[in-house]
Amino acid sequence: GVDQCIQKFLDVARQTECFFLQKRLQLSVQKPEQVIKEDVSELRNELQRKEALIQKHLAKLRHWQQVLEDISVQHKKPAEIPQGPLAYLEQASANIPAPMKQT
């Protein structure tokens, strides 16, 4: 039944894995430089992947630093608004467009 097929599949998978491990062992004994080359290649790939990840995080960091800087600038602007009894009128009149000249 299904259980026998699954067990047979697992047994064949183990045999296949054992075969490749034996070949890998033979290769490492006969050509140790090949194993070192593969290890170096894997390490280079890992370094490239990590560099890309670092660059991605740095870009996000720069973005959020800019957002925080923009927010801090916006919070500093209200302190520059003149204070006093006529401050509201001065601020409101600054937003009124100048009259257009008639020709």
Cα separation, 86 vs 37, in Å, equals: 78
Q: What pLDDT band is residue 81 in, cutting at 50, 70 and 90?
A: low
CB of 7 closer than 8 Å to CB of 15: no
Across 97-103, average pLDDT: 64
Q: Does the pLDDT of residue 89 top 90, yes or no?
A: no
pLDDT score at 73: 86
- Angle of the 32-80 helix axis to the 2-30 helix axis, nearest 10: 100
Across 20-31, average pLDDT: 92
Q: Does the pLDDT of residue 95 top 60, yes or no?
A: yes
Q: What burial class does residue 83 get, using C-beta atoms within 10 Å of its C-beta: 0-12 exposed, 13-18 middle, 19+ buried?
A: exposed
Lowest-confidence segment of 26-30, 80-84, 88-92 by average pLDDT: 80-84
Cα separation, 27 vs 37, in Å, equals: 12
Residues whose CB is less than 8 angstroms from the CB of residue 90 and which lie 6 or more positions away in sequence, other chains included:
82
Average pLDDT, the chain: 86
Residues whose CB is less than 8 angstroms from the CB of residue 87 and which lie 6 or more positions away in sequence, other chains included:
81
Q: Which two tokens stand for residue 66?
A: 């800019």
